[in-house]
């Protein structure tokens, strides 16, 4: 009796599920036709708005004239072996035989000025390295990796002026002034 009851309930459930599916299929078709009709007729009268293309400006040629600047291709900018032998290009060459100061082991961007002090009328600058060590330097000391010699310490303005010696693109030694100020962090 148990077996026949299971078969009857299974058949009834299948019949019920089939009826529900059939009813849903009927509803789906009528709703879909309305939806298709709406999609086909909704925007028939409206045209898309397209902006006009921008007007193309004609190309204007530019002639570069550098009357005030030095010609980068002139013969005077080329250092020849004859100039080096005569010493013309080596007059500002850094002294390679001197003993290096401890602050010359660091590039300038790795050094931070933290203060100045004056002792017996001699100005000193306090410089901190990226390793966390602090160093005292005075006029004539070197710092940075470009032979930067301290030429001025201005305690009132909290700044130090260095004179660096570097090679220019032509290979000549030139000097440039670099100013380091106290870093307010």
Residues 45 and 47: their CA atoms lie apart, in Å, by: 7
Q: Judge whether 94 lies within some domain.
A: yes
pLDDT digits (tens, 9 = 90+) for 50-89: 889 999 988 888 777 777 777 777 766 665 444 444 444 4
Q: Mark whether 119 and 165 lie in a shared domain.
A: yes
**Stretch among 39-53, 85-99, 108-122, 169-183 having the lowest mean pLDDT:** 85-99
Residues 153 and 143: their CA atoms lie apart, in Å, by: 13
Residue range 10-32: average pLDDT? 73
Domains held by the chain: number: 2
Q: Mark whether 80 and 32 lie in a shared domain.
A: no
Q: Judge whether 173 lies within some domain.
A: yes
Q: Mark whether 92 and 158 lie in a shared domain.
A: yes
Pull the structure tokens for residue 28: 């789906």
Q: Judge whether 68 lies within some domain.
A: no
Q: Judge whether 50 lies within some domain.
A: no
Question: Binning pLDDT at 50, 70 and 90, where does residue 163 land?
Answer: very high
**pLDDT reported for residue 46:** 77
Residue range 118-138: average pLDDT? 89
Backbone phi, then psi, for 46, in 5-degree steps? Answer: -90, 135
Q: Judge whether 159 lies within some domain.
A: yes
Assess whether pLDDT exceeds 70 at residue 91: no
CATH number at residue 105: 2.30.30.830
Q: Mark whether 86 and 29 lie in a shared domain.
A: no
Residues 88 and 65: their CA atoms lie apart, in Å, by: 30
Q: Mark whether 81 and 160 lie in a shared domain.
A: yes
Q: Judge whether 88 lies within some domain.
A: yes
Q: Mark whether 115 and 28 lie in a shared domain.
A: no
Stronger pLDDT, 117 or 185, i.e. the higher one: 117
User: Kindly report the CA angle at 40 between 39 and 41, in degrees rounded to 5?
Assistant: 95
Prediction pTM value = 0.50
- The DSSP letter of residue 167 is E
Q: Mark whether 167 and 84 lie in a shared domain.
A: yes
Q: Judge whether 30 lies within some domain.
A: yes
3-state SS, 92-135, equals: CCCCCCCCCCHHHHCCHHHCEEEEEEEECCEEEEEEECCCCCEE
Q: Mark whether 81 and 138 lie in a shared domain.
A: yes
Residue range 19-27: average pLDDT? 70
Instruction: Tell me the residue range of the domain where 92 lies.
Output: 75-181
Residues 155 and 143: their CA atoms lie apart, in Å, by: 18
Give the position of tokens 């290009």. Answer: 89
Q: Judge whether 127 lies within some domain.
A: yes
Let me know how long the chain is.
185
pLDDT digits (tens, 9 = 90+) for 93-117: 788 888 888 998 899 888 988 888 8
Q: Which residues of 147-177 are buried (b: 16+ CB within 10 A; e: fewer)?
A: bbbbeebeeeebbbebbbbeeeeeebeebee
Query: Mean pLDDT, the chain, as a whole number?
Result: 79
């Amino acid at each position: 009796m148990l077996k026949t009851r299971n078969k009857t309930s299974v058949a009834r459930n299948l019949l019920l599920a089939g009826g529900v599916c059939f009813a849903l299929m009927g509803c789906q078709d009528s709703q879909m036709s309305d939806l298709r009709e709406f999609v086909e007729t909704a925007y028939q009268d409206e045209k898309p708005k397209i902006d006009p293309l921008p007007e193309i400006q004609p190309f204007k040629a530019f002639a570069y004239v550098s009357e005030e600047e030095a010609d980068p291709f002139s013969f005077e900018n080329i250092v020849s072996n004859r100039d080096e032998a005569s010493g013309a290009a080596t007059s500002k060459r850094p002294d390679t035989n001197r003993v290096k100061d401890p602050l010359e082991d660091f590039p300038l961007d790795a050094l931070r000025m933290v203060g100045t002090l004056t002792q017996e009328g001699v100005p000193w600058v306090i410089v901190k390295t990226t390793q966390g060590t602090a160093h005292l330097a005075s006029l004539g000391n070197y710092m940075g990796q470009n032979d930067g010699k301290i030429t001025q310490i201005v305690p009132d303005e909290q700044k130090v002026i260095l004179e660096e010696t570097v090679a220019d693109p032509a290979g000549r030694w030139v000097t440039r002034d670099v100013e380091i100020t106290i870093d307010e962090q």
